[in-house]
Structure 1
Amino acid sequence: MHHFFVEPSCVRENKVYIEGGDVRHMKNVLRMKAGEDVTISDSAGNTYLCCLEKFETDQAVLDILKKQENDTELPAKLYLFQGLPKGDKMEMIVQKAVELGAYQIIPVQTKRSVVKLDEKKSRRKEERWNLIAKGAAEQSGRGRIPEVREVLSWEEALACAKELDMLVIPYELAEGMEKTKEIFSRIQPEQSVGIFIGPEGGFEKWEIEQAEEAGASVITLGRRILRTETAGLAVLSILMYHLEG
């Protein structure tokens, strides 16, 4: 069943009104017809089972059949602080992080980040990443669309992360899987958790030290060195299993 997101103002009088690009997608790509069922989520946390009533000139009109309880969000808020990778890797990271339950994704310019984005390029990338997050949220049945923030400097990212309940930072030189397991076990529902992932070249030692000073726990992800596009997804997978188990 197809899934779309709307603003709360689009839900009124037992109907949902969809406008913009989603209407064209419903008409021209999905070729939806009147009578088809669809689920709708709004940014207020509500999900509805709906039936497509009709297409009008610039909108789709849906009848609300029933309000549903959305149980697809993780009980904790996971913030992925991702060191900027090369090429299009960030697109895949955003897509998969949304599928795995990330609450927010924050691109970070670290010392070893090869990619350097000016303000114009950063804005275009941010728009693209948020479109990917929206598509991934629709595909995976999320109750909300995770935001992909603007690119932050390392200092800005640490300042932002200090507001969270827990911080973890995988480091290839870290040892002690038992300690890592114990740190993961302390993460509880309702908490906010920051996950710091380095770019292709990893973190500088002073970045690890600054993260520790900000309250981050250094963890290991095993004996193998994971690529930047793998490490964050590994942590999200572990926490998804832990929190939903």
Structure 2
Amino acid sequence: MYRFFVEPRQVGEKEIRIQGSDVNHIKNVLRMKPGDEIFISSGENTEYTCYIEDMQEEEILAHIMYAQEAGYELSSKLYLFQGLPKSDKMEFIIQKAVELGVCEVIPVASRRAVVKLDKKKEEKKIARWQAISESAAKQSKRMYVPRISEVKTFPEAVEYAKKLDVVLLPYELAKGMARTKEIVENIQRGQSVGIFIGPEGGFEEAEVELAVREAKASAITLGKRILRTETAGLAVLSVLMFALEE
């Protein structure tokens, strides 16, 4: 069945009101009819199984058949601090990161990032990236749509990461796979985890030092092979998903 997301205020005792762009998608793209069943999530860990009761011009009324605790989400919140990559790689990264359980993607304009976005381009990009996040969340049975934040400078990203329990920074000059494994194995379910991934040119040494000093980041190695920016974050998220899955 198809999955849709609503705000908590749209959920009633027996009915859910679907509004916005999903109305057109349900009516004119999916061509669904009253009586068709759908899943709805309001951003919490409850999944509503509903059937379409009424279809209006700007609103669809869904009747709640039953609700259940879904348990699809990781107990840990994963934050991906992604250095701005070239071309449309960010779209791929966001799509796959959402599938792997990330709760937020923070685009980072680090010093070696080739891509530079002015405010107008940034707003359009973020809107596009947020739409990709929503589509991936629907496909992968997420209970909420992971947020794509505004683009941050590296110091701003480090400041944002201070609130997290664990911060990982894969770095090509880091050594000691045993230490990396130990750090990952010691992450507890329920802890918040940030992952810093550099752009194509990697991080400058000063950036690594800032993250280690200010956000208590652990510079780790991902092995002897050098991974592309669109691969590195997904590799870390895959390991964390496996380690933290209930």
Same fold by TM-score greater than 0.5: yes
Q: Partner letter of residue 168 of structure 2?
A: V
Following the alignment from structure 1 to structure 2, what is the Cα–Cα distance between the partners of residues 223 and 158?
26
1:58 deviates by 1.7
Report SS of the residue matched to 1:48.
strand
2:98–2:146 contact (8 Å) kept in structure 1:
yes
Q: What residue is the counterpart of 1:108 in the other structure?
A: 108
**Number of residue equivalences:** 245
Q: What residue is the counterpart of 1:232 in the other structure?
A: 233
Q: What do the CA deviations read for 1:129-174 (whole angstroms, capped 9, x no partner)? A: 1111111111111111111000000110011111111100001122
Following the alignment from structure 2 to structure 1, what is the Cα–Cα distance between the partners of residues 202 and 226?
10
Q: What residue is the counterpart of 1:97 in the other structure?
A: 97
How high is the sequence identity, in percent, across the aligned residues? Answer: 56
Instruction: Check if 1:219 corresponds to 2:205.
Output: no
Which stretch of structure 1 is more off in the superposition, 176-185 or 27-36?
27-36
**What TM-score results when the alignment is normalised by the length of structure 2?**
0.97
State how 1:107-186 maps to structure 2 within 5 Å: 107-186=107-186
Following the alignment from structure 2 to structure 1, what is the Cα–Cα distance between the partners of residues 55 and 141?
23
Following the alignment from structure 1 to structure 2, what is the Cα–Cα distance between the partners of residues 179 and 82?
23
State how 1:192-207 maps to structure 2 within 5 Å: 192-207=192-207
1:43 deviates by 2.6
1:188 deviates by 0.9
1:46 deviates by 2.8
2:45–2:71 contact (8 Å) kept in structure 1:
no
**What TM-score results when the alignment is normalised by the length of structure 1?**
0.97
Q: Partner letter of residue 234 of structure 2?
A: L
Following the alignment from structure 2 to structure 1, what is the Cα–Cα distance between the partners of residues 58 and 159?
43
Q: What do the CA deviations read for 1:94-127 (whole angstroms, capped 9, x no partner)? A: 1111110001110000010000111111111111
Q: What residue is the counterpart of 2:88 in the other structure?
A: 88
State how 1:29-48 maps to structure 2 within 5 Å: 29-48=29-48
Q: What residue is the counterpart of 1:22 in the other structure?
A: 22
Following the alignment from structure 1 to structure 2, what is the Cα–Cα distance between the partners of residues 58 and 154?
42
Structure 1: segments with no counterpart, 5+ residues: none
1:54 deviates by 2.5
Which consecutive aligned stretches of 4+ in structure 1 deviate over 3 angstroms post-superposition?
A: none
Following the alignment from structure 1 to structure 2, what is the Cα–Cα distance between the partners of residues 18 and 244?
31
Report SS of the residue matched to 1:66.
strand
Question: RMSD value over aligned CA atoms?
Answer: 1.1
1:176 deviates by 1.2
Following the alignment from structure 1 to structure 2, what is the Cα–Cα distance between the partners of residues 9 and 159?
32
Q: What do the CA deviations read for 1:12-51 (whole angstroms, capped 9, x no partner)? A: 1301111121011111211212222111000344320111
Q: What residue is the counterpart of 1:243 in the other structure?
A: 244
Report SS of the residue matched to 1:16.
strand
Following the alignment from structure 1 to structure 2, what is the Cα–Cα distance between the partners of residues 14 and 137?
25
1:82 deviates by 0.3
Following the alignment from structure 2 to structure 1, what is the Cα–Cα distance between the partners of residues 73 and 114?
33
Structure 2: segments with no counterpart, 5+ residues: none
Q: Partner letter of residue 129 of structure 2?
A: W
Following the alignment from structure 1 to structure 2, what is the Cα–Cα distance between the partners of residues 57 and 151?
36
Q: What do the CA deviations read for 1:162-195 (whole angstroms, capped 9, x no partner)? A: 1111100001122211111000011111111110
